Amino acid sequence: MYRRNKLSGIISQIINRKYILAAGVFPLSLLAISHIASASAPPQASSPEAWRTPEFAMQWGLASIGAEYAYARGYTGRDITIGVLDETIIDHEEFSGKLSKISPEDPYNYGVSPGGWITIGTHGNHVAGIAAARRDGVGMHGVAYEANILAAKYLGNPIVRSEQMIQSAARIINNSWGYPIRIVRDEQGNPIWLPNGTPYYSTVTLRDNINYYAPVIGMLNELSLSPVSKVRTNYSSDISMLRAARENKLIVFAAGNGNNYNIPVGVPSLPYFSPDVFGNFLVVTNLTPRDDLHVSSTSCGFTASYCLSAPGTNIYSTGGRLVSITGGGITANALLNGELAFREGYEYMTGTSMAAPLTSGAAAVLMQRFPYMTSAQIADVLKTTATDLGAPGLDARFGWGKLNLRAAIDGPGMFVTPEDIPEDLYISGTYTDTQFIVNLPGIGAILEPGTPQERVCASHECAWDRWDNNISGHGGLTKTGSGTLVLNGNNTYTGPTLVNQGWLLVNGALTSGVTVEQQGILGGSGQIGALRVGAGGTLAPGNSTGTLTVLRDVQFDPGSLYRVEINRDGQSDAIHTAGAVTLNGGDVSVLLAGQENLLTQDEVHSLAGRTYSILTAANGIHGAFRTVAPDYLFIGTQLNYQPERIGLAVGRNSTAFTSVAETKNQREVARAADQLAAGHPVYESILASTTAAEARQAFSQLTGQIYADVAGALLSNSRYLRDTLNSRLRQATSSHALWVETLGGWDKATGTTNATGYRASTYGVLIGADKPVSDKVTLGVAGGVTRSALNGANRAHGDSNNYHLAAYGALQSGALALRGGLAHTWHRIDAERRVKYGAQADKFTASYQATTRQLFSELGYTLSGASVSAEPFGRFSYTSLTSHGFSERGGAAALQGKKKTNDAVLSTLGLRGSVGWQVGQATVSLRAEAGWQHQYNSPERSSRLAFTPGGAAFTAATVKGAKDSAVASLSGELTLNPQTTLSIGYSGLSGAKQQDNSVHAGIRIRF
């Protein structure tokens, strides 16, 4: 193993490679405070004030950095893991459910007094609590109170645990430890104390660090390329932190407690010698509540360009003490013998050890806030949003200034290049990547694949994010990934803005010039410096419609696209530039902004006939776009060029609505809609169709097919009445009779390419009376009430209350029987339908009446045996349903129903049979029937409708009825005595696209 070179000069007197805590020589209080409040997690809130609870107030640093503003927006460090290399972290209620240990078997850290008593080391607990203690209503809570903690005993441990930390999911590694600096002594060998109460430490200079690291940095870099050995050496910490930073861990280091005149020493100085790890390092100094360095805190010094200041004075956090469970002493032997227990509590400490975990916790909050950012970018956001302290700008005392989480959640404050760093504080080789690359990859993308930090970008910020800060600096921005980034600030950074993928919306201002190419899209209604839209790039100004202002020149290259949104109020996207415009080709596409629901409006402004101003240039327009094309089927566009302006004329093209319709119903609606006036909401909604499929969806939704469905179902179900009367006539005797029959039927029509299917049901009761008027003739009357319900496509629904009146009769001559009747039915119908296509939606209702008239007859010849009979039969029926006119209630797509008659001429040939037997005093009979039904006229049922009174009418057809169908029935009767008969039965019809089933039960009383 490599050995450290023997050092000469002051560094050999200053640096002792024993690791000490950076908590300061003077902890202000070691008093453990027990839990005094019951644990209860408060509800989420949306205002910062709601987060300023007593638990929050116990840790003054939270308010100082504005943590409550992050909490109010939902950012708490959830699911981020913070690594802590420190003393052993002892289990504490504040860490319940969130603490994992790399080496739980490692013993506690403790100190031994001259009398043999021991004091447990709670520094690790205190540090971990500042970063991530739970928010549970007790004591205090950490900055990232929903983050996880991964702990490893690093101090006082001969086994180096850093490689396990590096290979873990921890994205942050907190280091609240450092190296002791020699205290100056007087001639008698006593430590010298300064007037401020701190020891007089020897002064450390940059040259001391250089003298120490320059000879060995090459060796350290080489060793950091391999896993860190568990065997501790003089260089274990250096190698560990170099390796961790190169694995994209964010290394947070306490600056040290060597007084304000001193600078960081040891590991915190590594980025000076290895600039490639610079971006993943943060050094933190200790602030008082008055925003000054605590007297014990080391200044940033030469680390200023990666140094922050954060509250670290008199910080209240998790701690505790050892107590005896046997009543004995608090000794090392008692600890080894299991006679001591840890009593958890809280305590105050001061030092950069406390400032570092406050920063680590803030970094965890930002990693939740910006899940797509790298560790180095998180560090940049923390640095560039810090509150400036001391001398203006970056300085050697405070570095970037005080940690400001409130500002950090709004994005970077600067895109940094070497020009932004004072010359005396600049570290050679740093800030060479002058573009801040923002990769918003979309929800579900895998970030840092193949590394321990591999994760799924699962939050909405992965697809859409907004930065509100005013971004300065000499650097630039590169937007990649499919997501959308919104810039709202007054941004003065001077580097280029490159939009290579996804959306960049500028709603604030940019000094920078913007280049859009590859798969990038620029939008927004703000101001930019200059604009070039290259091949593959798209300009889409506004947020919906809006104007993008350009201070200098604009250029469109071949393969570029200018996407213009227009609306019905005469507004459009536009570019206005104070410079000149050069058009080297490129295309213009036109689309409708804010697809509003037109159907709820009486009238809308038409797109046709409008001219929009889409580009103005103070210094003139040179060249032309290659093409202009609307994204719509039925709209035509034309560009009108003037010296300083381009206009977009919009009109109706020659494509007829019917040309894209595929079915008869669609063509009927398309024809009628195309004859509506410009400005009619139905016409305008179809005019805005972007595809043939979208237009066809509109036609299908607008048909009003429910009215044809109702007509078809009522016409089909008229058979229930005539079948009941025919059945009664076959059972007539020489006695007077009263009868009652209940019925229920279910009808299903299967959809076709032209019409959607439906399901219908009917139930009710029929009552009749008949008597023989001679030995051959029987006459009767009947009436009843039924209710039908129909459910169609797209949540369309119809209900009909049906009132029936009929007369019937039979002529029996031997085995030959002629039966027949006529009936009239009144229907009171309520219908409801919904329309939904694109952004269009509405609900319509109608109440109207209809009547059904039917005439039917049957001829049968009975063949009888002892208890069995058979009857071949033929029957004929004519049914006519007339639907009366109506006006729908609803918006602009409400229909006017015209009077329409549908009829059916049917014949049926079949055979029925019956069998009966005596059971005691009763007689049981079973009857069955089968036949073939044929319709002579067209089986199509339809409604006649129009969009406006007096407007072009169109026909909406339902599923065609069956031309030929099979019919069957099965029934049973129980004659209890000569006066009373009970009956029950089933009948069914099956044809192409139609199935109908019904059941009935009845009673007859003869007298």
For residue 332, the tally of other CB atoms under 10 A from its CB is 14
Q: What span, in angstroms and rounded, lies between the C-alpha atoms of 401 and 385?
A: 9
* Secondary structure element (H or E) that encloses residue 10, with its range: helix 10-14
Q: Is the pLDDT assigned to residue 931 strictly greater than 80?
A: yes
Q: Which residues are paired to 833 by β-bridges?
A: 844
Q: Which fold has domain 703-1006?
A: Lipocalin (2.40.128)
What residues does each domain of the chain span?
Answer: 10-384, 434-652, 657-700, 703-1006
In tens, the pLDDT along 678-697 reads 999 999 999 989 999 999 99
Q: Is the pLDDT assigned to residue 471 strictly greater than 80?
A: yes
Q: Of the listed 353, 525, 800, 969, which one is catalytic?
A: 353
> Helix crossing, 352-369 with 375-384: angle to 10°?
110
What class does CATH assign to 10-384?
A: alpha beta
Q: What span, in angstroms and rounded, lies between the C-alpha atoms of 285 and 303?
A: 11
Q: What span, in angstroms and rounded, lies between the C-alpha atoms of 562 and 559?
A: 10
Query: Strand 886-887 relative to strand 868-883: parallel, antiparallel, unpaired?
Result: unpaired
Q: What is the pLDDT of residue 75?
A: 98
Lowest mean pLDDT among 336-340, 377-381, 899-903: 336-340
Q: Of the listed 86, 380, 723, 842, which one is catalytic?
A: 86
- Rg of the chain's alpha carbons, rounded to an integer? 44
Q: Which of 879, 889, 878, 880 is nearest to 848 (CA)?
A: 889
Question: Any catalytic annotation for residue 689?
Answer: no
What mean pLDDT is predicted for residues 185-189? Answer: 91
Q: What span, in angstroms and rounded, lies between the C-alpha atoms of 220 and 1?
A: 12
Q: Of the listed 64, 92, 106, 123, which one is catalytic?
A: 123
Q: Is the pLDDT assigned to residue 756 strictly greater than 60?
A: yes
Q: What span, in angstroms and rounded, lies between the C-alpha atoms of 249 and 26?
A: 31
Which tokens sit at 299?
A: 């200044």
Q: What span, in angstroms and rounded, lies between the C-alpha atoms of 271 and 429?
A: 10
Q: What share of the chain is helix, strand, coil (3-state, %, to 5)?
A: 20, 40, 40
Residues 6+ apart with CB under 8 A from 720: 743, 745, 762, 786, 998
What mean pLDDT is predicted for residues 962-973? Answer: 90
Q: What is the pLDDT of residue 1007?
A: 65
What is the per-residue DSSP string for 393-423?
SSBTTTBT-B--HHHHTT--SB---GGGS-G
SS3 sequence of 330-381: CEHHHHHCCCEEEEEEEEEECCHHHHHHHHHHHHHHHHHHCCCCCHHHHHHH
Q: Is the pLDDT assigned to residue 13 strictly greater than 80?
A: no
| Count of helices and strands (H, E) across the chain | 19, 54
Band (299; pLDDT cuts 50, 70, 90): very high
What mean pLDDT is predicted for residues 503-527? Answer: 98
What mean pLDDT is predicted for residues 607-612? Answer: 91
Lowest mean pLDDT among 151-160, 497-506, 846-855, 873-882: 151-160
What mean pLDDT is predicted for residues 213-232? Answer: 96
* Alpha helix (H) residue ranges in 385-516: 405-408
3-state SS class at 825: strand
Tell me the percentage of the chain whose pLDDT exceeds 70: 95
Question: Any catalytic annotation for residue 774?
Answer: no
What mean pLDDT is predicted for residues 147-163? Answer: 94
CA distances from 411 to 377, 381, 487, 564 (A): 10, 6, 9, 30
Residues 6+ apart with CB under 8 A from 105: none
pTM to 2 decimals?
0.79
* Alpha helix (H) residue ranges in 677-739: 681-687, 692-702, 705-717, 719-730
Give the mean pLDDT of the chain: 92
Q: Which residues are paired to 861 by β-bridges?
A: 816
CA dihedral 195, 198, 200, 202 (to 10 degrees): -140
Residues 6+ apart with CB under 8 A from 249: 83, 166, 170, 171, 172, 173, 280, 375, 453
Band (797; pLDDT cuts 50, 70, 90): very high
Q: What span, in angstroms and rounded, lies between the C-alpha atoms of 835 and 830?
A: 17
User: 862 phi and psi, to 5 degrees?
Assistant: -95, 130
Q: Is the pLDDT assigned to residue 23 strictly greater than 60?
A: no
What mean pLDDT is predicted for residues 292-303? Answer: 97
Q: Which residues are paired to 806 by β-bridges?
A: 782, 823
Q: Classify residue 773 by burial, with Cβ atoms within 10 Å: 0-12, 13-18, 19+.
A: exposed
Q: Which residue has the tokens 């009941």?
A: 724
What mean pLDDT is predicted for residues 748-771? Answer: 94
Q: What span, in angstroms and rounded, lies between the C-alpha atoms of 720 and 336?
A: 94
Q: What is the pLDDT of residue 730?
A: 86
Question: Any catalytic annotation for residue 474?
Answer: no
Instruction: Fill in the DSSP letter of residue 600.
Output: T
Band (114; pLDDT cuts 50, 70, 90): confident
**Highest mean predicted confidence (pLDDT) among 67-71, 920-924, 965-969:** 67-71
Task: Find the length of the chain.
Answer: 1007
Q: Is the pLDDT assigned to residue 873 strictly greater than 50?
A: yes
Q: What span, in angstroms and rounded, lies between the C-alpha atoms of 924 and 1001?
A: 15
